[in-house]
Amino acid sequence: FNALFLCVSLIRLKDLEVAKLGDSDVHIKMLAAPINPADINMIQGTYPILSPLPAVGGNEGVGEVLEVGRRVTALKPGDWVIPADTGLGTWRTRGVFPEETLLKVPSDIPVLCAATLSVNPCTAFRMLADFESLAPGDSIIQNAANSGVGQAVIQIARASGIKTVNVVRDRPDLPKLVERLMALGADHVITEEMLRKPEMKDIFKSIPRPRLALNCVGGKSTTEMLRHLQPKGTMVTYGGMAKQPVMVPVSAFIFRDVRLRGFWMTQWRKDHAQDQESLAGMMDALCQLIRRGQLTAPACTEVPLQDYRAALEASMKPFVSSKQILLL
């Protein structure tokens, strides 16, 4: 089978033998797998989880079950599966994995939705659910709103009646991006520069100030976003694209009692490993949204596995609004 093999300074496509099927194993044919920022970080060696080398890249994707070992009861040939955790190595055409490393998903949802289900929509869902009790009419603010998580936040919030203020970096094709995010259900789309302007007050004439801020950037963007948070509001940091620390004025802590929290989907999965109900409930809710057309895959560019170099390069360019998906 073909696998993207990762070495410290080298990524290459290799043909390998498929491992023998054990009693508790599942043989799957991968259908599609995205390239996420965390995948790049793992290759660079800067992610908290690093696979022993040599390793196959990719933490997310969807595959179809071809064959199961004799002790496997929850899966059968034809089922669709996604990784249950980080580090599976999804950039491959085929693989044999222990049953517990896979999660069954419905095969009646679009393949790109299934391939991008386990990281970004789950992250968006948990951050909207776990930090503030949001009710219809409440609002949230987020930066990197055009990211995969950002697009999922807009749609999940919209389906729950929650308003979103979405911050993006200024760019040459800004009007096109604003139009795309508004079509997903964004209430307001603004640039980082706008965060500092008095006109921000106009936005909060029609919607309440946000109780929740979602930060994927860090640096100045975060400090400015924090100014618009309600007293006792929460800011959740789940990424640091600017590679700069989160700076908080002392006054925000003392006089507005804001809370700063962090979120990492991998840790949530570890913490809830014994709590299958929470996981099943979340996956079910997300799949229902997908079936109703209220949650779509992020903007994607589909790339055949052979063109993986071009896909990796494209995913590392600035102002990328399209996720590279390897078709396997």
| Lookup: tokens for 15 | 């043909």
Cβ count within 10 A of residue 2: 18
Q: What local confidence, expressed as pLDDT, does residue 9 receive?
A: 46
Q: How many Cα atoms within 13 Å fall on the side-chain side of residue 305? A: 22
Fold of 119-266: Rossmann fold (3.40.50)
CATH architecture of 25-116+297-327: Alpha-Beta Complex (3.90)
The residue type found at 306 is Q
What's the rounded Cα separation, in Å, for the pair 2 and 16? Answer: 6
Q: Tens place of pLDDT for every residue, the chain, 328 residues?
A: 565 554 334 678 899 999 999 999 999 999 999 999 888 888 888 888 888 888 899 999 999 999 999 999 999 999 999 999 888 999 999 999 999 999 999 999 999 999 999 999 999 999 999 999 999 999 999 999 999 999 999 999 999 999 999 999 999 889 999 999 999 999 999 999 999 999 999 999 999 999 999 999 999 989 999 999 999 999 999 999 888 999 999 999 999 999 999 999 999 999 998 998 999 999 999 999 999 999 999 989 999 999 998 898 888 777 666 899 999 9
> Which of 120, 49, 103 lies closest to 265, judged by CA?
120
Where are the domains positioned within the chain?
Answer: 25-116+297-327, 119-266
Which residues are CB-neighbours of 98 under 8 A, at least 6 positions away? 22, 24, 25, 26
pLDDT at 309: 86
| Measured distance CA(225)–CA(91) in Å, rounded | 36
Q: Identify whether the C-beta of residue 64 lies closer than 8 Å to the C-beta of residue 13.
A: no
Q: In degrees rounded to 5, what are phi and psi of residue 105?
A: -130, 155
Q: 62-68 and 80-83: which strand pairing?
A: antiparallel
Q: Write b or e for each residue in 125-163: b if 16 or more Cβ atoms lie within 10 A of its Cβ, otherwise e.
A: bbbbeebbebeeebbbbbbbbbbbbbbbbbbbbbeeebb
Query: pLDDT value at position 1?
Result: 59
Say what the pLDDT of residue 28 is. Answer: 97
The reported pTM is 0.92
Tally of CB atoms within 10 A around 75:
18
Residues with catalytic roles:
47
Q: Is 304 helix (H, G, I), strand (E, B) or coil?
A: strand
